Structure 1
Amino acid sequence: MAGTADPIRINHADAQEFVETILRAAGVSDKNSTIVARGLVQADLRGVESHGINRISSYLARVRNGVLDPKTEPTLIQITPVVAQVDGHNGFGFPAAYLGMATAIAMAQTFGIGMVSVKHSNHFGMSAWIVGQAADAGMMSLVFTNSSPALPVWGGRSQLMGVSPIACGAPGGETSRPFILDMAPSVAARGKIYKALRRGEKIPGDWALDADGKPTDDPAEALKGVMLPMGGPKGSALAIMMDVFSGVLSGSAFAGGVTGPYDMSKPGDVGHFLVAIKPDLFVSLDEFRERMGVLYKRVVESDKMDGVERIYFPGEIEQLTEEQRLRDGIPYVQDEIDALNAEAEKLGVPGIRVAGV
């Protein structure tokens, strides 16, 4: 199987340069190519390979099929001093989300809070990179998006709700890591199913049902059926919440109307909802950071259950993975490298650099 081969490690800077080059060749502006590439490479660095640079093939397929505009620029309308809306104009979701969070941060710096709704967007990758954008600016954040139907509502069996991630974050204390939560309302993110299919791997039997409503460990059969919500009705309700805030509120598609990144039939029409919050609204920044440090310490030093060696703060495992991969390179399998280089060949640009990690 492809997934059993020894990994090929790529330097993160080489991965960034490769994706930027491919996107520019496809008609994406220099600025937007950098934003998209950074979001994808950050996912691979953090170990979220389901949302990493291997997404490029599906994105470019959508460009070639005329359902994603690589050249458009997102536009901004200021609605109130603390509320704005971004129209993605069916371009890449990354620049639309980046503009939205940058705007929310700017409003929060002046008014304490900023809220931005994004409409007519597309898949924006791993939500944690947008949370990180806010954390780097010293802001707390909420990052919501909706997505194409993959989950049943509780008690149903048809695809209706998206596996729409819920993400939020807060800066850490002087000696603690930031809080970064990025989770899907399903047992697993659908991107992990595509990753398993791409790598020729099985999936756990409690991730999805096949077309007949039976549990399956075959990713191909899972993609014909439905993902399972985590916690039953709780996961289903969270998926509906993402649709309310990201789709209903924004004016984008909702209630099963979002087109998935692997569906070449029509534009995605994805919606996002982004909030930035200044952390020193109610206590001083020093006190906030001190309190975050206390929270971090109490969490990671909690008494451990039997068999557990270490307790991690939300987002900490991914941050440790990023630190390791910045040193040692990002692991890919040969089939993934071949697929990336095939896209490069179509556009007449060099393949990804393997040496020099």
Structure 2
Amino acid sequence: MPDQPNQPQQMHNINHTDLQNFVKQILIANKTSPEHAEIVSKCLVSADLRGVDTHGSNRIPSYMERIRQNALDPSAVPTIRQVTPAVAQVDAHNGFGFVAAHEGMKLAISMAQIFGIGMVSVKHSNHFGMSAWLVQQALKADMMSLVFTNSSPALPVWGGKEKLMGVSPIACGAPAGEGRPFILDMAPSIAARGKIYKALRRGEKIPTDWALDKDGARTDDPAEALQGVMLPMGGPKGSALSVMMDVFSGVLSGSAFAGHVTNPYDPSKPADVGHFLVAIKPDLFMTIEEFKGRMDYLYQRVVDSEKMAGVDRIYFPGEIEMITEEKRLAQGIPFATAEIEGLNKEADLVKVERLKV
């Protein structure tokens, strides 16, 4: 963390291939198999490329601390229980959420290819980063998808003041033809909690409508916000969405729920996160070509719709992130000096070559 949290820092651009290899080597040095390290590092860098810096490689220090404190098992191998031909459950055995969710979506896709739909519940898992990478996994197989997870307490329920529900993202997607695919990935809070951690690392202030401090007052100080609560989007609507994530991901899976998921930055005990994944064949009621053509038409109708005053361009859900990815693939991924120092401390601990700037 920077010594002066309100002093913006110098930024450095890092090549995505170099970054993924760096992250992979740190994971391997921390007793993660090369196969699993490939999955985790790819998912983290995917978030960095899409501009979701809150769920990217900067999570490595917190993940590695959880490993060092035996709160996360880097060598765990998920196991699968087939419940019906189209329903299965994955037990992550307290391993990386990325690995268990990857296996879960892979299984959901394979079932959907046969039965039209595949549903997978994941239990005893951990944080799996940006939900959109699972949507992308389904898109590569020409599948629609739903991706739910629960998370540690950060939001009060509507009318309450204590942290109880997580800022658990809801994500879904659908493939397209010539246009952009549909990718929705959003938290039920005004902002993801990771954005507050990012602001703290980078010495930045936050908008005053994101969170309340421990006394219930609005704040632009990320440190104070982390002592308080996040604010739900749309009042009771965002609050209800966070409860829904807990029902489908926590209650249904048998994992922790109702405020008992452990914060990913708390290395004292396993997180016990639950996920809920669904893959759907889009050609159940028409050909895949017709479906994609209809998606392309929807895309054009959205982006070409009449703009309100002051708006230069209308974007399809997920399009801004795709544009950011194209830019960062060419120009590199921006990191603050303190973020690079945090990553290099992890490299030094396991004698991995440091990330160069």
TM bracket, shorter-chain basis: over 0.9
* CA deviation string 1:235-261 (max 9, x = no partner): 000000000000000000000010010
Distance in 1, matches of 2:211 and 2:30, equals 35
Matches within 5 A, 1:73-112: 73-112=77-116
For residue 31 of structure 1, what is the aligned residue in structure 2?
35
State the match for 1:62 in structure 2.
66
Whether 1:178 aligns to 2:181 is yes
SS in 2 for 1:79: strand
Structure 2: runs of 5+ lacking an equivalent: none
Match of 1:346 among 333, 346, 349: 349
Give the letter aligned to residue 54 of structure 1.
N
Matches within 5 A, 1:103-182: 103-173=107-177, 175-182=178-185
TM-score (norm 2): 0.98
SS at 2:66 equivalent: helix
Indicate the residue corresponding to 1:278 in structure 2: 281
Q: What is the CA–CA distance in structure 1 between the aligned matches of 2:289 and 2:59, rounded to whole Å?
A: 40
Give SS of 1:4's match.
Answer: coil
- Is the contact made by 2:9 and 2:202 (CA closer than 8 Å) also made in structure 1? no
Deviation at 1:172, TM superposition (A): 1.2
Q: 1:192 aligns with which of 195, 204, 212?
A: 195
1:197-236 aligned at under 5 Å gives the runs 197-236=200-239
Q: Which amino acid aligns with 1:209?
A: L
Aligned twin of 1:45: 49
SS in 1 for 2:120: strand
Post-superposition offset of 1:167: 0.2
Residues 148-197 of structure 1 deviation map (CA, whole Å, 9 limit, x = unaligned): 00000000000000000000000012x20100000000000000011011
State the Cα distance separating 1:4 from its structure 2 match.
3.1
| Structure 1 residue 286 displacement after superposition | 1.0
Separation of aligned partners in 1, 2:342 and 2:262 = 23
Q: Find the residue that maps to 2:204 and give its secondary structure.
A: coil
Cα deviation 1:283-325 (Å, max 9, x = unaligned)? 1111101100100000000000000000000000000000010
- 1:194, 1:7 → 2: CA distance? 17
The superposition leaves residues 1-24 of structure 1 with CA deviations (integer Å, 9 ceiling, x where unpaired) of: 676334211110001100000000
Please say if 1:5 is aligned against 2:9: yes
Aligned to 2:290: 287
- Give ranges in structure 1 of 5+ residues lacking alignment: none
CA offsets 1:127-166 (integer angstroms, 9 cap, x no match): 0001000001100000000000000000000000000000
Q: How big is each residue's C-alpha offset from its partner over 1:201-228, in whole Å with a ceiling of 9 and x where there is no partner?
A: 1100000001111111111111111000
RMSD of Structure 2 on Structure 1 (CA): 0.9
- Over the matched positions of the two proteins, sequence identity in percent amounts to 69
Distance 1:32 1:352 in 2: 21
TM-superposed deviation, 1:353: 3.4
Please name the residue that 1:309 is paired with.
Answer: 312
Query: What TM-score, normalized by structure 1, do the two folds share?
Result: 0.98
Contact preservation (8 Å) 2:302, 2:316: yes
